[in-house]
Amino acid sequence: MRLQGIKLTLNLTRCLSIWMLQTLLLFRATGSCTFGRDIIPTQNTIDSCMLNSSTFADGISESCFSLRGGIVLTDTETPVNEEVDSECDISEAEAIISRFLSDDESNRDFHVQGWRWHTLSLVRDTSRLEKLAMRVLSQATESGFAINSMPLEKASRHVIDFNMGGLNRIENNLLFPWLRNKLCSHGEDRLKNAFSQILNKIDKDRSRANKLALAVKDQAKLASSPKRERSQCIQATKNLALLSGALTSLVDSIMDQENKFLVPAVAKIVPKKEQKSFNNKVLLELGILESRVHLVGMYDAVVESGIEKEREMFREFIPVIPRMMIPNWRKKLYNPQAGILDGDGS
């Protein structure tokens, strides 16, 4: 599924992620906004900055692998998927899982829909952040740019800290340990290894997404700083738009992998009762107020997807009273913090 708007290709995203990471690490080291404008870094400077890449990633979280039950690396440890990598590359893993999923079409009820819709809402929000940055650029004037760019920092806090942060918390603390337990212990060794490979690949992509997210926050803060010159704010806003677009593309790619391999696997392997029990744990983890805000974002993402089947599932899986409360929660809870993305917040 795809949201409307400009999206970069996955190959471009990966190249941009590496380039942006190098440049933003340089920015952190020098305190200057480089991006090919004011400073041309030497290779020694970039190499020095890249040595601190682990510190850069720590700004968001620890390694996704250690938090989510996957690879845990120390100076003396060997990656737990080293044997898997030698036996089964990603394309083989995908083929093995595809064959497993095609063997039996029965028992395909998936009930952890909140995870899918939360990811979809994140794709929508990162795209909205990109469009907001582009609007700020188009409306910039000599005297008012710094003031007009102030919404970017508040908007990035909602997208990165609240929406992506909530999704990461659920995936780190609950979902991915649960997926590894259910999927990587099912069937013969080749199937177990294949699921492990796919989960490890998604974890690596999520780690890259977290680094991009931190860069988005840095550029939003710089663009909104009244202490910066107008040219620096404009450049930071351009950077923010580019990074948000790259993040949109990357998270969308992750969602595709999850929908193709993990969602149908859970539907086939995990009984409906266990899936519903897991949903209750998610609600407890998020809390009542946070869950309400997320539900509004999920609903909007489902509606804007234009996929009628998604709307039908939303009506089926979300009880009628919470659905009736969405307009009220939008006005009182959602718009005050997320409306800024559409120019409606304060």
Cα→Cα distances 227→77, 88, 186, 232, Å:
46, 53, 57, 10
Nearest to 117 by CA among 346, 341, 331, 305: 305
Q: Report whether 224 contacts 149 (CB < 8 A).
A: yes
pLDDT in tens, 187-208: 899 999 999 999 999 999 999 9
- Helix or strand or coil: residue 68? coil
- 287 backbone φψ class: left, alpha, beta (φ>0; ψ -120 to 50): left
More confident residue, 140 or 48: 140
Say which residues have a Cβ less than 8 Å from residue 243's Cβ, sequence separation at least 6: 16, 20, 212, 215, 216, 219
pLDDT for the residue numbered 107: 59
Determine phi and psi for 316, rounding to 5 degrees.
-75, -40
- Check residue 264 and give its pLDDT: 95
CB atoms under 10 Å from CB of 108, counted, come to: 12
Give me the phi and psi of 150, to 5 degrees please.
-60, -35
pLDDT tier for residue 132 given thresholds of 50, 70 and 90: very high
> Are 177 and 69 in contact, with CB atoms under 8 Å apart?
yes
Instruction: Work out the number of other CB atoms within 10 angstroms of the CB of residue 284.
Output: 11
Is the pTM higher than 0.95? The answer reads no
Q: Are 156 and 217 in contact (CB under 8 A)?
A: yes
User: In the chain, what are the domain boundaries?
Assistant: 10-342
Give the range among 25-29, 109-113, 246-250, 314-318 with minimum mean pLDDT.
25-29
Query: Which residue, 118, 114, 112, 119, is CA-closest to 278?
Result: 112
Encoded tokens for 175: 């979902």
Sequential DSSP letters for 164-204: IHHHHHHIIIIIHHHHHHHHTTSSSHHHHHHHHHHHHHHHH
> Of 178, 180, 187, nearest to 99 (Cα)?
187
Which of 95-109, 111-125, 138-152 has the least mean pLDDT? 138-152
